[in-house]
Structure formats: C-alpha cells, structure tokens
Amino acid sequence: MDWITIISTTVKAAIGVETVWYALAAIGINIHFGYTGLLNFGQSAFLAVAGYGLAVTVTVLGLPFWVGIGVGLLSAVLLALLLGIPTLRLRADYLAIVTIAAAEIVRLVFRSVAFKDVFGGSDGRRGFSDGFYAMNPFSPGTYGFGWLSFNERVLWVLVVGWALVALSCLIVFLLMKSPWGRVLKAIREDEDAVRALGKNVFSYKMQSLILGGVIGCLGGFIYGLAYASVQPDIFGTETTFFAYTIVILGGAARVFGPVVGSMIFWVLLVLVNGVLSGAVESGLITFMDSTQVGPFRYLLVGLGLILLLVYRPQGVFGDKREMAIDAR
C-alpha cells in the first residue's frame, strides 16, 4: 500500500476542483435550506443551466466568453423565477417536489437526442474554455511544493474558484448580519409571524431562491472550465444530495459550514478510496475487487454520516437551533 500517494491525493482533494465547485453549490443550498428553510432539491439544475449556458453561447452561437458567463447567470435567475413563482406561496414540500422534478427535466433535456445539435446529447459540450485560459496569468509549468503541486491550468482554476468561494462567503456573512438576513431567519422559524408583521414573505423567499441559485451556479462554471466540458449526467440529483450532505456535515446556517463540509466530505471519499484500493491490491481485503471499491467507499462514508446525524445532527460547526425548520 503506497501511503505517500494516498496522503498526497488526500491533501490535494482538500483544496481541489471538486471541493471548490461543491462548496459553491453547498453555499447556495445553505442560503435556501440553512437560512430560509427552503427545501430546494434541484440545485444541480442551477449548475447545469449555468454550465450549458456558457458552453452553448461560446460553441454554438460563437459569442465571447464573458457573454457566456452572463447567459449562464441569467439562466440561473430565470430558473429560480420559474421554480419559485408557482411554489413559494405553497407549503415547503411542494417546492421540494417541483425542484427535484425540474432538475431531472433539465438533465434529460440537455441529454436529449432531439437537441443534440445544441446541447451535444450524452456527450455534452466541450471547447468553450479557451477564453478563460487566455486570461491565465501563470506561465506554463508546475507550481506549489511537495504534495501541493499543480500545473498552470489547474492553479488558475483553483485561484478563481477559491476567490469565488471567499467572495460568496463574504456576501453571505454581510447579508445574514443585515435586517434582510434576519427576516430570512425569521421566515425559517415562523413565516406566519413574519407575515403578520407586514413582511412580504413570498418576495423574501424568491430573493433567497435567486441568490442561492446564482451562487450555486458558479459551481457549474468552475466544473465546466476545469474539465473544459459539460455533460448532463454530471448534474444528476446526486449532486444536490451531496451538497445537502456537505451543508449538514459542516453545519447549516453557518457561513463557513459548506466550505469546511466540502473539504471534509471529499477528503473522506478520497482517503477511504485510497485505503480500500491499496488494501485490495495488497491482498489485505479479499471479499471484493477493485471495481467494487468505489461503491463501497460511499457505503462507509454514508455510514459515518449517519452516525454524525445521530450523535451530532447540527454538524461540525452547527447549532441544533438552526436545524429547526417550519415546513408549513
């Protein structure tokens, strides 16, 4: 078992691309679920429309990179409006039903053979990241030290990605300390009382849905730019559930909870995968082969998360009071 390789891969995972784009998705979920009490099970759709908005604008329409970014952001706002207008006046579970269905509809539309000329079908779209890497200030080479070494392309993605994470956390911190943020928390606790005080609950919920969707969709940009492609199956419902796992792991309604949760989540997955793969290759584990390591690591990490929910349901930094949601 090569422990040096395992540790190196695990350390990189703590600040890697997956950690970044899942952290952004989870920050958006934290605004919805942690601060407002909205059960949005369609966060993957926001990432998908942003990534595909950029890809289609650049590759199909031939427009500049920044226009594609604008189209992706606008698509996330429109999706939030389409999901929120018919559901936010109803009970919370209606929003959950609509969003999880909408996310799957979006994925299937992008995957559809009928729209293959536009979205690329199951193969997705690629070749739209040249404008992003043209702005790369790092010359070709390897940067970092020891286990934390990256080439110029990965480093550029990580710098931009972590800058977006820091900016998103700052925005959330400032907003949640403002009167607007306190109204969101009040809606989470008892929206009827907030409505009785003369606040437009529907308007605040819509603003929260849009803000969380826009911040979350930044993860779609980071994924697409890091891998220079977007594929529909990447944005399945499991992406949303991973984001919820990250929020709960780090602590709901905590500014840095999604960031720390994302780091812990991916470190655990990579570490467990490395240890199990090494144990199978060295013959220490004989009841499964290397092809079964991937599914089995999710089983072990899932078991650990279940124990966390049993003994510390508020997560690493969370507060039990923040987990009480009025879902009427």
Residue 149 CA to residue 248 CA, distance in Å, equals: 31
| CB burial of residue 231 (10 Å; 0-12, 13-18, 19+) | buried
Of 8-17, 36-45, 236-245, the least confident: 8-17
Residue of 30, 56, 101 lying closest to 255 (CA atoms) = 30
Residue 199 pLDDT: 94
Residue 237 pLDDT: 92
Residue 320 pLDDT: 67
Confidence of residue 274 (pLDDT cuts 50, 70, 90): confident
Residue 324 pLDDT: 54
Residue 187 pLDDT: 93
Residue 1 pLDDT: 56
Residue 328 pLDDT: 46
Residue of 296, 302, 164 lying closest to 245 (CA atoms) = 302
CA 162 to chain centre: 13
Determine the Cα angle at 143 with ends 139 and 148, to 5°: 155
DSSP state of 123: G
Mean pLDDT of the chain: 91
Residue 155 pLDDT: 95
DSSP string, 261-282: HHHHHHHHHHHHHHHHHHHHHT
Residue 327 pLDDT: 45
Percent of the chain with pLDDT over 90: 70
Given a cut of 60, whether residue 54 has pLDDT beyond it is yes
Residue 316 CA to residue 38 CA, distance in Å, equals: 21
User: Mind listing the pLDDT tens digit for each residue in 78-89?
Assistant: 999 999 999 888
Three-class SS state of 222: helix
Mean pLDDT (whole number) for 50-55? 97
Of 52-61, 120-129, 201-210, 307-316, the least confident: 307-316
User: Mind listing the pLDDT tens digit for each residue in 125-169?
Assistant: 999 999 999 999 999 999 887 778 899 999 999 999 999 999 999
Q: Tell me, what amino acid is at 208?
A: S
Given a cut of 90, whether residue 279 has pLDDT beyond it is no
Confidence of residue 5 (pLDDT cuts 50, 70, 90): confident
Judge contact between 105 and 232, C-beta under 8 A. Answer: no
Strand pairing category for 148-151 and 142-145: antiparallel
Question: Which pTM does this prediction carry?
Answer: 0.93
User: Mind listing the pLDDT tens digit for each residue in 215-242?
Assistant: 999 999 999 999 999 999 999 999 999 9
Residue 315 pLDDT: 84
The domain defined by 3-322 carries CATH number 1.10.287: no
Given a cut of 90, whether residue 285 has pLDDT beyond it is no
| Helices and strands (H, E) in the chain, number of each type | 13, 4
Residue 321 pLDDT: 63
